[in-house]
Each structure stands twice: as C-alpha cells, then as structure tokens.
Amino acid sequence: MSAPTLRTLAKSLGLSRTTISDALRGSPRVKAETVQRVREAAKAAGYEHNPLTGAVMSQLRRSRGQQFRGVLAALEIVDAARPAHAVRYNETVLKGIAERASELGFKMERFELGSEGMRLNRLDTILHTRNIQGLVVLPASGLPDLSGLNWERYTAVYADLFINHPPLHCVCLDHYRSMLMLLRELHERGYRRPGLFMEISLDERLQYRWEGAFLALQKYLPNITEVPALRAHNLSREDFVPWFRKHKPDVVLGHYPEAMEWMRSCGARLPKTHGFVCLNSLRVNAEPCAALDFQPAHIGARAAELVIGQLLHNELGIPVQPSLTTIPARFLEGPTLRAAATVG
C-alpha cells in the first residue's frame, strides 16, 4: 500500500491540495473545523508532513533551482543595558549560526525581540506566514520567556546554559571542564596558590560550575595550597585588595581585567611574581592578558546543526527531555603568565 500524499488526502476529503496543505500548517485561511477534520484524516491515514517542503519548493521557484533547504530564525532579546562584551559574544554566535547554516543549505535571518524589538505575537505571525520552523535563541540577560510562541510549530535550541520558559535543548560553554583544563595548565607552569574571584550573581547563574571545578582541583592537584574564592555581589577594589593581601595567591583567575592593576597596587609584578588569567577573552580591553576564549562561533555552529537535525527528523514542539551540549573553552596565551615549560 502506497504512503498517503497531499493528493490522496485531498481526493478522499473532497478538498483541494492547497487547502489540505494550508490546513496541515494551521493556516488562518482555513476554517478551524476544516483544519481539525484534515488533521484527523491525515493522522488516521499515517500521513507524515515534511516541515521543509513548503519552504524548499517556494525557494526553488524563486531561485531557479539553486540548492536550498530552509530558513533558520536567530532570535535575540534586545537589552539596551547589555554590556559590550555580551553584545560582541552574540554577534560571534550569530556568525557561527549563519556560516554553519549556509554550509547545510539553510539561510539565517535575525529577529529582534523585547522593548526595542518586536513582540512575540508579531514574531509568531511572521514565522508562521513564512513557514520558518527552526529557531536558535541567542543568550539573553536574566531569564528569557518565549512561552508565548505557538511551540507546536517550531523546534529550537537556546545558545546558553538553560532556559525554562519553555525548556529547550541548550548549547553553551563547558564551564566546569574549562576550569579544570585551566587549573591543570597553571599547575604545570608551577603555580601552587591559585585564587578565584567571582560575582555572586554570575556564579549562581552558572550553577556554580566555575567555583565547583576550582574547589575540586584545589583538593586533588598535588602540592596545592587552598585559597578561598572571593565572592561578592558587586566586586570592587575594596573587596579584592584585602583578600589578595591576606591569602597571597600566586595566580589570580577572574572576569575583570582591572584586577591586574589591583594586584600591582599590592606589589605584584606580572608575570614575574604573579600571574593573571581573564575568564572571558571578550572582556579583555587595552591591556593584553592570558584568557579563555568561549568559542562562541563554535557554539552558534553547533546550535545550527542541532536545530537542522531536529527539522530533518520532523521534531517540532517543546522537547520532552531537554538536553545540554557543551563546548570547552580555548586557552589563549598572554603576557600575564610565565611561559610553559619546554620539553627536551
């Protein structure tokens, strides 16, 4: 028995193929009772709708046969207060999405949401009208809420640690593994009193991944002196200097490059007597230093791959069991650390 098609469904229901197609997509041009009747008949017949068919055929007609598989929407929640390093991060994630999507036959289009962008209901209408079903949500401040979208139409990945409204598959930096890698590298270079400073809100947002790895290796790396992590709500020189003088770390890890000047005010000479590593290379400003590169382009590329894979498997809607895919950071050499020992 042959598989059911739009043609066979249309014939059995006495409707046109266009009406059948529109009904299966939930088009507002078709009456609700007709949509229900078509969907019930399609389900009973075992018809499986390919979410890319409409987009592919439309683009093929426009492009005269050029290879095309669909469109991905990159959603960004605009926030005027977002710091410059976070803006640069999202731009690089976008670049990774666009490049990988293009390699796989997809085009990426960017949509801005929030007080300075469009509303969710407007976005929902645009995506539905244009048959865009694959979404990559860019990292946002706070806890983004996209539950207002009609999620039975979409599949999505969030390019950050976690999202609850709705819960989606996520791709982000592997903070824990990156800290382990960094501490082992510093240990090989002879540092024995590593010190970590963190803002409490960031530590909590990352579910203590930086600090958790730091505390674990403090206990298991040989000949390490345990230095308590400095945690503050709004980290400042007034917090840092007493901690640095009391605990005397020989290498400091943290997100704020200005800590290098705070160290020097206490008599540190980088890299002769002390070391420093910035935990986010996008925060590094005028003065170069060793840092971790979060590889946002790789995160964007992986997010695009996951969304496209879900589309090709016709996996629409909120996932039953959201997953987390992590990418390790890349260590960047800098003049604030002593050189690695050479072999031979």
**What average pLDDT score do residues 271-294 get?**
97
> Do 261 and 243 have their domain in common?
yes
Residue 263 lies in a domain: yes
Residue 227 lies in a domain: yes
Whole-angstrom distance, CA of residue 93 vs CA of residue 12: 47
Query: Contacts by 49-58 with C-beta closer than 8 Å and gap 24+?
Result: 49/24, 49/314, 50/314, 51/131, 51/133, 51/311, 51/314, 51/316, 52/133, 52/311, 52/312, 54/21, 54/25, 54/131, 55/130, 55/131, 55/132, 58/131
pLDDT in tens, 132-144: 999 999 999 888 9
Lowest-pLDDT choice from 1-15, 81-95, 129-143, 217-231? 1-15
Place of tokens 């390490």: 224
pLDDT at 220: 92
Q: Which residues of 236-271 are buried (b: 16+ CB within 10 A; e: fewer)?
A: eeebbeebbeeeebbbbbbbbbebbebbeeeebebb
pLDDT over 50 at 170, yes or no: yes
pLDDT over 90 at 90, yes or no: yes
**What average pLDDT score do residues 322-332 get?**
97
**What average pLDDT score do residues 233-240 get?**
96
Q: Which residue has the higher pLDDT, 304 or 78?
A: 304
Residue 286 lies in a domain: yes
Q: Are 132 and 73 in contact (CB under 8 A)?
A: yes
> Do 273 and 232 have their domain in common?
yes
Residue-number span of the structural domain to which 254 is assigned: 175-294
> Do 203 and 141 have their domain in common?
no
Q: Mean pLDDT over all residues of the chain?
A: 90
Residue 112 lies in a domain: yes
Residue 336 lies in a domain: no
> Do 183 and 266 have their domain in common?
yes
> Do 213 and 250 have their domain in common?
yes
**What average pLDDT score do residues 69-80 get?**
92
pLDDT at 118: 87
Whole-angstrom distance, CA of residue 176 vs CA of residue 206: 10
User: Residue 55's pLDDT band (boundaries 50, 70, 90)?
Assistant: low
Residue 146 lies in a domain: yes
CA distances from 312 to 12, 70, 194, 235, 276 (A): 28, 10, 47, 46, 46
Residue 49 lies in a domain: no
Angle at 71 between CA 70 and CA 76, to 5 degrees: 160
Whole-angstrom distance, CA of residue 97 vs CA of residue 107: 9
Helix 6-13 / helix 17-25 crossing angle, nearest 10 deg: 110
pLDDT in tens, 206-223: 999 999 999 999 999 999
Six-digit token string for 1: 């028995």
> Do 127 and 137 have their domain in common?
yes
* Residue 302: CATH number of its domain: 3.40.50.2300
Lowest-pLDDT choice from 27-36, 194-203, 294-303? 27-36
Residues 6+ apart with CB under 8 A from 258: 237
CA distances from 28 to 23, 33, 257 (A): 8, 12, 54
How many domains, in total, are found in the chain? 3
CA distances from 39 to 11, 22, 44, 178, 266 (A): 15, 11, 9, 48, 72
> Do 310 and 276 have their domain in common?
no
pLDDT over 60 at 50, yes or no: no
User: Residue 3's pLDDT band (boundaries 50, 70, 90)?
Assistant: low
pLDDT at 117: 73
- Pairing label, strands 155-158, 169-173: parallel
Q: Give the phi and the psi of residue 106 in degrees, each rounded to 5.
A: -120, 155
Residue 183 lies in a domain: yes
> Do 206 and 164 have their domain in common?
no
pLDDT over 50 at 197, yes or no: yes
